[in-house]
A and B are shown apart, each in its own frame.
Chain A
Amino acid sequence: MSLSRVVATAWRENLLFSVLLELTYRCNLDCFFCYNDLALKGEPLSREQYFRLLADLREMEVMNLTLSGGEPLAHPDFLALGARARELGFVVRVKSNGHALRGELARRVRDEIDPFLIEVSLHGATAATHDRQTRVPGSFDRLLANLRELRDLGLRVKLNSTLTRWNEGEIEGMLDLADSLGLPLQVDPEVTPRDDGDREPLQVAPSREGVLRLFRLQFARGRAAEEGAPEVQVARGGDDGTVPTPVHKHCGAGSSGIAIDPFGNVYPCVQWRRPVGNLHQQGIGEIWRGSAGLAEVRELTVQVKERIGAEGPGSHLLNFCPGSAAAHAGSPLALYPAAVQRREALEQVMEEERKTLLPVVR
C-alpha cells in the first residue's frame, strides 16, 4: 500500500491521522495579520487533560501531532507535553515563530522532544519588513541567529512565509536567505481573516502582481531544480499531486485531521473554525465517533468536491479550502477571491511557460 492510498483510506474511513494542538494564544511577537482569535475565552486544558488526550490519540493510532499556537513554547507545559508525545511515538511537528528557540531551550527541544520538523515563520528578507510584520524590533536579527543555532544543533527546520503586500517585493531575497541558511522555504500566497471573522489582516493581502511574481519564481525554480538548485514550495499553490484524487471528499478536514484550541474546542481543521465538540465535555474518541458537527463537515467535504469539480479543468488550480471559504465568504462552498486570484495567476504563468517552451517555427 502506498502512502497516498493510506491517506485515501484515512479520508474514506474517517481514521484520525493528524492532529494540530493550539496550546496557547500567548505569543512573544505581535504579527499584524495573525489569524488567532485573541479575545476567545474559556478554560484552558490542564496538563492532565493534555496527557489524557495524547493517550487517547495514541490509542486511536494518530500518527502526526503538531504543536502550534500562538507560540507553543509560551505554554508552561510545552516541553512536558512534547516529551510525552515523543514517548508515545507521535511524529511531532512544532510551529513556532522561532524567537525563543535558542540556547538551553533549543537543546531541550531536540533532546526531549526530538521533533520531526520545526516550522518557523519568516516574514521578510530584511529587518525592516520582518520586524514591521512582527511588530517587535530586533526580531529579524534574533531569528537569523536562532536559525543558525537550530541548524547547528541538527534540528530539522523549515521556513514558512505568508505572502503579504509588505513582503511580496522581497520574495527573491527571502529565497536567497533560506538558501544561504540551507533551509527550505514554503510560501503561502493567502492571507486569511482572523478566526473571529475580523478582516483586518486582509489589508496586507498580496497583490495580483505579487502572486504572479511568486508563481513565476516557482516555475523558474522548478526548471532550475532539474539542475540541482533548490525549489520554492508554495502552500495552496495548486494541486501538487499528493492529494489522493480517487477519494470522494475534497480534503481530510474532519475525516483524517482535526485541530484543537487551547480551551478544548475541536475543529475539523486549523483553517475551518467550526466547533464540533469540546474536550471539557467529551473525550476525543467520543467526539470523533459521535459528533453531529463532524458528520456534517464530512458530508460538506463531499459537497465541496462536487462543487469545485464543476468549475472545470482548472478547478485544481483554485487549491480551494473550505475553511478559507467559510472565513472569506461565509460558506465552505463559496468561491472566494484569493482562490480565484490564485487560479487566474497560475493560468497566466502556465500560459507564459507554454510560450517559453514552445519551439520556434520559422
Chain B
Amino acid sequence: MIAITPATVLRRRSDVRYRRIEGEAVVLRQSAAEVLVLNEVGASVLDLADGERSVGEWIDALAEEYEGNSITLARDVLAFAAELAEAGLLEPVAGRSEP
C-alpha cells in the first residue's frame, strides 16, 4: 500500500481516461483494459489529481464542495487516494510531495 499524506502530490497515470456520466466517473485504464466506475467524490478526486495540488488541497476543495465532518472527509480522501494509487490510476509526482 502506498503511504499517502496530505503533503503527497498525485497525478493521474498517463494511460487513464475518464469521463463524467451523470455525476459519476467512467474510468478506463488503457494498459490493463480495465473499466471502473467511481462515485461523485471519486470523480472529483480524479479531477483534482492534476499533479499540481497536494492531497491536502484536495481535502480543502472537497470540504467546500461537500458538507460534512472534515475529519471524516480527510480520512476518507487519504484512504481513497491510496486505493486509487494502488489500483494504478494515480501515481506520486517525484519531487513534488512535501516531507
Contacts and interface: CB of A to CB of B under 8 A. Distances in A.
B22 A2 contact: no
A114 interface: yes
Contacts of B21: 6, 9-10, 15, 17, 61
A80 to B, nearest CB: 19
Interface residues of A, number: 19
B28 interface: yes
B15 interface: yes
A10 B22 CA distance: 9
Contacts of A6: 21-22, 24, 26, 37
Interface of B: 14-15, 17-22, 24, 26, 28, 30, 33, 35, 37, 39
A62 interface: yes
Contact of B22 (A9, A62, A91, A156): A9
Nearest to A62: B19
Interface string A102-125: 000000000000101000000000
B26 A3 contact: yes
Top 3 A-B residue pairs of the complex, sorted by shortest distance between their CB atoms? A63-B19, A61-B19, A91-B17
A144 B92 CA distance: 40
Contacts of A360: none
Contacts of A63: 17-19, 26, 28
Contacts of A89: 17-19
Contacts of A361: none
A1 interface: yes
Q: Is the interface of B mostly helix, strand, loop or mixed?
A: strand
Residues of A contacting B: mostly:
loop
Given A1-B37, A2-B37, A114-B15, A91 B20 contact: no
Given A89-B19, A114-B30, 14 more contacts: A3-B26, A9-B21, A10-B21, A61-B19, A61-B20, A63-B17, A63-B26, A63-B28, A89-B18, A90-B17, A91-B17, A114-B14, A114-B15, A156-B33
Nearest to A92: B17
Given A1-B37, A3-B35, A114-B15, A91 B30 contact: yes
B89 to A, nearest CB: 13
Nearest to B16: A89
Contacts of B35: 3
A89 B12 CA distance: 11
A227 interface: no
A90 to B, nearest CB: 7
A43 interface: no
B2 to A, nearest CB: 24
A1 B27 CA distance: 12
15 contacts: A1-B37, A2-B37, A3-B26, A3-B35, A6-B21, A6-B37, A13-B22, A17-B19, A17-B21, A63-B17, A63-B18, A91-B28, A91-B30, A114-B30, A116-B30
B17 A116 contact: yes
